């Protein structure tokens, strides 16, 4: 049976997920949408030729009995309210990162899910579905490089918008590394420090860019992550795991090589939508399939909580310049069952 999906937030990524569900993926259709900008939501319905109703808000959308699952793709500060309302309505919910903008908000979602007694929430940490990261994890799990000792990574965007602030380097950007690296090496974080190299002239005056974040894991692995959101040349994601017996590196996206005008090289992508297009397809297809089985498997609300606690400590470290502790509540039993990361 086709799964009816409602979409809360029809901005950039909401539209992109609507496009993939309507044209690339199988087993689901969009029957309901809402956005604070209802006219924009109506335009999206027409643009993608959807047979969908535009509802005034998330509550009205969630009240529809025929909506089997929802995607929360609104602004970060609106996520918590919609996810809590979805859990209360007993609906499966895929929420883009961040699950909530505070660790307390994520914890409220975790507690609501525990009270419900069953996993309903999947968080949009799509890198776990990227074939490059999956290969990297396989190499680590198979001990091809021995015990991991250090990780070096870089998260570069060509440019940041006018509303982007220094803390968003953590909460909006590094949040992907925060999730994927603990999944990659099956470890959790202990402490963090943030330092600032010389600032690029391309960053707006209110911003620190680039930033370098050092995270120590409980197992003693040292992570160095560069965040550079005005690098100009492309959307570039790098990750290298240095182990006792060798080094494993995230593959570059496949691309033809060009010999042209005295140069030999490959193109670099400019947009996150293209860099992780297959990962987004896989994560949303997995959500659809697992909702239909009644058994959501992707990144959990607990993963969203861990990311938020870690991000809070990173933001504190941005301000203090000191090493800051990262301390988590005890993992609830609900999240001990097999997930994608353990499958
Ligand atoms: N996984 C990823 O790689 C990835 C990529 C991009 C964005 N995101 C996340 O997705 C979310 C949306 O990002 P975006 O780039 O699409 O932003 P956007 O600004 O393009 O779209 C957000 C939309 O949400 C709407 N909105 C705000 N509050 C709402 C509410 N209470 N109810 C309904 N609609 C509401 C806005 O009107 C807007 O149309 C953010 O949390 C962002 O961090 C994730
Ligand atoms: O919302 C986007 C998205 O998550 C991208 O993957 C990231 O590179 C950007 O920095 C962020 O602003």
**Ligand 1 centroid – CA 28 distance (Å):** 21
The yes-or-no verdict on residue 77 having pLDDT over 80 is: yes
Q: Which residues contact 138 (CB under 8 A, 6 or more apart)?
A: none
Residue intervals in the chain for CATH 3.40.50.720: 3-127+278-300+330-335
The yes-or-no verdict on residue 6 having pLDDT over 60 is: yes
Ligand 2, atom nearest to 173 Cα: 10
> What are φ and ψ of residue 114, in 5° steps?
-60, -45
Domain 3-127+278-300+330-335 is found in CATH 3.40.50.300: no
The pLDDT confidence band at residue 343, using thresholds 50, 70 and 90, is very low
Closest-CA residue, ligand 2 atom 6, reads 272
Please tell me if the CB atom of residue 280 comes closer than 6 angstroms to any atom of ligand 2: no
Please tell me if the CB atom of residue 43 comes closer than 6 angstroms to any atom of ligand 1: no
CA distance 156 to 229: 5
Residue intervals in the chain for CATH 3.30.360.10: 132-270
Closest-CA residue, ligand 2 atom 5, reads 272
**Ligand 1 centroid – CA 35 distance (Å):** 10
Q: What's the whole-model pTM score?
A: 0.95
Percent of the chain with pLDDT over 90: 97
**Is it true that the peptide bond before 91 is cis, omega within 30 degrees of 0?**
no
| pLDDT per residue as tens digits for the range 175-211 | 999 999 999 999 999 999 999 999 999 999 999 999 9
Closest ligand (CA of 83): 1
Alpha helices, DSSP H, located in the chain:
12-23, 38-47, 58-62, 76-88, 103-116, 131-141, 168, 175-185, 272-275, 277-293, 301-320
Mean pLDDT, the chain, whole residue set: 96
| pLDDT per residue as tens digits for the range 108-158 | 999 999 999 999 999 999 999 999 999 999 999 999 999 999 999 999 999
The pLDDT confidence band at residue 339, using thresholds 50, 70 and 90, is very low
Q: What is the ipTM of this complex?
A: 0.98
The CATH fold assigned to 132-270 is Dihydrodipicolinate Reductase; domain 2 (3.30.360)
> What are φ and ψ of residue 95, in 5° steps?
-120, 125
DSSP conformational letter for 200: P
Beta strands 92-95 and 189-195, pairing class? unpaired
**What are the Cα distances from residue 119, in Å, to 178, 285, 291, 300?**
22, 17, 10, 8
Please tell me if the CB atom of residue 324 comes closer than 6 angstroms to any atom of ligand 1: no
Count Cβ atoms within 10 A of the Cβ of residue 53 and give its class: 0-12 exposed, 13-18 middle, 19 or more buried: middle
CA distance 125 to 179: 7
List strand residue ranges (DSSP E) for 157-307, in order.
189-195, 211-217, 222-228, 236-243, 247-249, 257-260, 263-266
Count Cβ atoms within 10 A of the Cβ of residue 115 and give its class: 0-12 exposed, 13-18 middle, 19 or more buried: exposed
């Amino acid at each position: 049976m086709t799964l009816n999906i409602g979409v809360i937030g029809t901005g950039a990524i909401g539209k992109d997920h609507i496009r993939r569900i309507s044209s690339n993926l199988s087993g689901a259709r969009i029957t309901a949408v809402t956005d604070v900008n209802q006219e924009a939501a109506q335009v999206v319905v027409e643009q993608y030729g959807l047979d969908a109703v535009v509802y005034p808000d998330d509550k009205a959308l969630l009240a529809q009995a025929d909506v089997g699952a929802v995607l929360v793709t609104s602004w970060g500060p609106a996520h918590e309210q919609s996810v809590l309302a979805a859990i209360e309505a007993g609906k499966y919910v895929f929420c883009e990162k961040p699950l909530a903008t505070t660790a307390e908000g994520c914890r409220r979602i975790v507690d609501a899910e525990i009270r419900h007694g069953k996993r309903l929430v999947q968080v949009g940490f799509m890198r776990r579905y990227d074939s490059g990261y999956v290969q990297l994890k396989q190499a680590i799990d198979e001990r091809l490089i021995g015990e991991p000792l250090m990780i070096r990574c870089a998260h570069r965007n060509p440019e940041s918008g006018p509303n982007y602030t220094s803390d968003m380097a953590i909460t909006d950007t590094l949040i992907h590394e925060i999730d994927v690296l603990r999944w990659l090496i099956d470890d959790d974080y202990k402490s963090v420090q943030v330092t600032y190299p010389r600032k690029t002239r391309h960053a707006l005056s209110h911003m620190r860019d680039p930033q370098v974040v050092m995270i120590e894991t409980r197992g003693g692995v040292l992570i160095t992550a560069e965040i550079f959101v005005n690098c100009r040349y492309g959307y570039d994601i790098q990750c290298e795991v240095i182990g006792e017996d060798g080094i494993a590196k995230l593959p570059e996206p496949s691309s033809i090589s060009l010999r042209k005008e005295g140069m030999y090289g490959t193109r670099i992508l400019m947009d996150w939508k293209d860099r992780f297009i297959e990962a987004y397809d896989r994560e949303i297809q997995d959500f659809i399939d697992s909702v239909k089985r009644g058994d959501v498997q992707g990144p959990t609300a607990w993963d969203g909580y861990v990311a938020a606690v870690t991000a809070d400590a990173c933001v504190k470290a941005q301000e203090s310049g000191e090493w800051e502790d990262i301390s988590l509540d005890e993992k609830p039993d609900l999240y001990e069952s097999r997930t994608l990361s353990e499958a």
